[in-house]
Amino acid sequence: MKTPFDQFRDLANELTKEFSKEMKKYQDKEAPRSSGEAELNRHIRGAEKEALSVERLVERQKALLGELATKRDDAKLMADKRYEQTELAKQAGEEKLAERAALESKHYGEQYRYFEGLLDEGGRELDALERRALEMRLKLDEMQNKRYEFAMRENLDLLKGALDQIFGADTSKSHPFTEEEKKDATKEEPAAEEKTDAADEDDFEAKLKELERRFKQD
Binned at pLDDT 50, 70 and 90, residue 58 comes out as: confident
pLDDT over 70 (residue 78): yes
Which residue type does 117 have?
A: G
Which among 133, 132, 86 has a CA at the least distance from the CA of 108? Answer: 86
What pLDDT score does 135 carry? 86
Contact 133, 55 (CB under 8 A): yes
pLDDT over 80 (residue 75): yes
pLDDT over 60 (residue 83): yes
Please, what is the average pLDDT of the chain?
75
pLDDT over 80 (residue 23): no
Domain 4-167 fold is Helix Hairpins (1.10.287)
Q: What is the arithmetic mean of pLDDT over 148-173? A: 71
Q: What is the arithmetic mean of pLDDT over 69-95? A: 94
Binned at pLDDT 50, 70 and 90, residue 32 comes out as: very low
Give tens-digit pLDDT for 123-142. 988 898 888 888 888 888 88
Cα 30 from Cα 150, distance rounded (Å): 9
**DSSP letter for each residue of 167-183:** H---GGGG-SS-HHHHH
What pLDDT score does 212 carry? 67
Cα 101 from Cα 85, distance rounded (Å): 6
Which tops the pLDDT comparison, 148 or 109?
Answer: 109
pTM of the entire structure? 0.54
